[in-house]
Amino acid sequence: MRIEPVFLFDLDGTLVDSVYEHVLAWKEALDSEGIDLSVWRIHRKIGMSGGLFTNQLIRETGVAIDEERGERLRKAHAAAYRRMGERIRPLPGARELLSWLSGAGIRWAIATSGRMETASVNLKALGVDPDKSPVVTRDQVKYAKPDPDLFLAAAKRLGAPIETAFVVGDSIWDMLAAARCRALGVGLLCGGYGAEELQKATAFRVYEDPADLLLHIDELGGRR
């Protein structure tokens, strides 16, 4: 009996070119609270859970961030990101990859650390309707990456064992979450992390972007 693969996709930096808009939105939010953090340090945190983001901010800046302040930061980031919404575009091959998987009868879902207030901007750019395609956001799980909750919930939505899933993401946080739930991590370089970083975080294959992944889809059990 053939094991049918399923694909669980991160969203930012994996299917849509949005990482740097998130970085700039967080920079604006942090500046509004008088918290000085370099842009490159913000980039390293994109994709992790909000709680881990806050903990790392406290460690790196020494600034106290209570629940109220954390909520102000989140709302300021979301507002800034929505203002940049018109800039967001699908990454090369993203729409074609999802269309090919659907046409081949291979199930897929999207699992993002973003809440729907920002994820909706990306889904619109990608042409994905969350009422018609399985999408799991931060609003729907207790913990986000590097915890595996998002991917476990996405696999459940597909009715598939997590062990049959490929988790496709652009960050080390995606790969760590994949390893924790016994899925196979597939890294993409289009979010700014390097191949060696992704491989050290357990990615067993690394591709440039969705177009490159589609070109090599047979390496992951997809059949053209």
The residues that are catalytic are 10, 12
Query: Is the dihedral angle over the CA atoms 202, 190, 10, 161 positive or is it negative?
Result: negative
Residue linked to tokens 């669980």: 8
Q: Which of 160, 142, 143, 152 is nearest to 111 (CA)?
A: 152
Residues contacting 195, CB < 8 A, separation 6+:
187, 189, 206
Please provide the distance, in angstroms rounded to a whole number, between the alpha carbons at the two ends of the chain: 20
> In one letter, which amino acid is 128?
V
Query: Is the dihedral angle over the CA atoms 133, 138, 141, 143 positive or is it negative?
Result: positive
Q: In what order do the strands lie in the sheet with 165-169?
A: 135-136, 108-111, 6-9, 165-169, 184-188, 203-207
Bridge partners of 167?
8, 185
For residues 40 and 45, what is the distance between their CA atoms, to the nearest angstrom? 9
Phi, psi of 131 (to 5 degrees): -80, -15
